[in-house]
Amino acid sequence: MKNNSFDICIIGSGAGAGPIAFELTKAGFSVVILEKGPWIKTSQFTKDEIVATRRDSYIPSLHDEPQVIEWKDKNGNFVSKSNIHGGMNFWNGSCVGGSSNFMSAFFHRLKPNDFKLLSQYGEIQGANIADWPITYEELEPYYSKVESVVGISGKVIKHSTLEPRSTEDFPYPPLSENIVSHWIDKATETLGYLSVPIPRGILSLPKEQRNACYYSGYCGSYGCSSDAKASSRVTLLNKALETKNCTIIPMAKAYHLETNGKGKVIKAYYHDFEKNIFSIDAKIFVIAAQAIETSRLLLLSKNKEFPNGLANNSGNVGKNLLFSAGALGSGYFFKSDFSEEDFKNIMIPGLFVNRAIQNWYEIDDNSFNGKAKGGSIDFLWEHSNPIRKAIKQKWDEEGQLLYGSEFKKKLFSYFTETRKLTFEVFNDWLPNDNCFVSLDPKVIDKWGVPVAKIRFQNHKHDLKVGAFLAKKAEEVLKIMGAKNISSETSSSPPANLQAGGCRFGNDAKTSVLNKNCRAHEVENLYISDGSFMPTGGSVPYTWTIYANSFRVADKILERLK
């Protein structure tokens, strides 16, 4: 068994890990990162739809590492099933840099009311709502730090729900936009709303060794071949490696953290892909393996001191798992409805939409019996994937399968005479007793380790908020001249937006971590991915995970110095 000693051991390498490695190595401390996936370099990322989205090449094989998914059937009973032969899974980007390699990089800040959901809006029956133990003001400097260090492009527009800022604007100008962005602006103005530019973790101008975006149109689910996208790997880990104080070990599957019987972790054990066992000694241990796997690792690390799992004597590990609630919708623009010039501009590939509406981040409507927490509406083009688009065209209006020349004719029309504008609604997935991670008692992975069992159930309030916002977005599409407008809310969780499971708080009886994201019960264990969040807010989580990880890095530095 090989043994190595470092100042800090980080498990995981995504958005929660990068800032820790960046700051601690820069300060001269030795850092080792255990990443369960491979080390994929920029030159290896291509716009291959088969690789990126049809074959799940960037996540583990479900034969090697299945998960057990538990949900309510139509009779209201919970049923569970291993996904070893496919189906829903909650793996995201298992490689150096984690899922930040494959994000769409919509970078919204949380707003002050996201930090005090309970005190500002009150209890909701069946939801385990809690205020954060920190305020927006405490996190704000770290949001600003992410803007400059990681690199965010955009334009700050003054509006009624704009969060307080210590900087006037973003360090990089907005990315180039399609003409439809200005149509959204006009439509919202007509309706008395305001559309605002969406900040993106994508460079509009070069930064150091990183190139600017070249507008391929393939962001979500794809690695960036220009390094414009603000992945942890490109923006932070590469810098950490330059200090010579950072060691990254890919294909290292952490499965157990050993304690000394006195509330301190002394060793991390991991398997390589050939099932060999190694260990790491460190002064400080940081888990940033994404919410589900972080909870799983703690539950696997049980011993006499922690019989229910590491840092879990309170029984809170894995509980109050979060996803993102909301809705999806779309409308179609047909060539026959527009001038030749306008439609030509609509069809320009690669240019961004980058528009959001946040007028209802707080809802004041009679249907909610007073003020309620709302959400954000983001507009974007249908994903560029041609295979996915083509598959959806294989049926005629009567639901009959198309073949030959008829199918070719429909494909040609769709790709040359139609463009689909979509929207995503983001609102809180309320934490509840039936959304959590545990260990499955029967199913194991290729190393013989129990897999994560994921129960999910949303709160009915989530769907009500999502449907309210979706109707507002539909109104905008109608004013713009879109046809075949539709939307839907769903109780299924988006696998790429997961948080919670190790919420932070001031009371050790109801939380896993203290306000600095150190485990209440373990003096040298920190968690810096999205697991810390007691509520998720109404925007994607990435910017907040980055910001909080920089904050946690400062707390660790204070301790070590």
* Per-residue pLDDT at 298 exceeds 50: yes
How much is the pLDDT for 1? 40
For the stretch 483-525, pLDDT in tens is 999 999 999 999 999 999 999 999 999 999 999 999 999 999 9
Other C-beta atoms within 10 Å of 399: how many?
Answer: 6
Q: Which of 469, 501, 375, 301 is nearest to 117 (CA)?
A: 375
pLDDT band, residue 370 (cuts 50/70/90) = confident
- DSSP 8-class letter at 484: E
How much is the pLDDT for 2? 52
* Per-residue pLDDT at 275 exceeds 80: yes
* Per-residue pLDDT at 107 exceeds 70: yes
For the stretch 392-406, pLDDT in tens is 999 998 889 999 999
For the stretch 139-196, pLDDT in tens is 999 999 999 999 999 999 999 899 999 999 999 999 999 999 999 999 999 999 999 9
Mean pLDDT of all residues in the chain?
A: 96
Place of tokens 């965010």: 152
The boundaries of the domain holding residue 288 are 3-560
Longest C-alpha distance within the chain, in Å? 74
Strand partners, 258: 267
273: domain CATH number? Answer: 3.50.50.60
* Per-residue pLDDT at 456 exceeds 60: yes
pLDDT band, residue 528 (cuts 50/70/90) = very high
% the chain with pLDDT above 90? 95
Q: Where are the beta strands (DSSP E) in 277-408?
A: 277-287, 319-322, 324-334, 355-357, 362-365, 370-373, 375-381
For the stretch 319-361, pLDDT in tens is 999 999 999 999 999 999 999 999 999 999 999 999 999 999 9
Q: How far apart are CA 457 and CA 319, in angstroms?
A: 12
Average pLDDT over residues 221-248: 98
pLDDT band, residue 561 (cuts 50/70/90) = confident
Number of structural domains (the chain) is 1
Show the 3-state SS of 203-247: CCCCECCECCCCCCCCCCCCCCCCCCECCHHHHHHHHHHHCCCEE
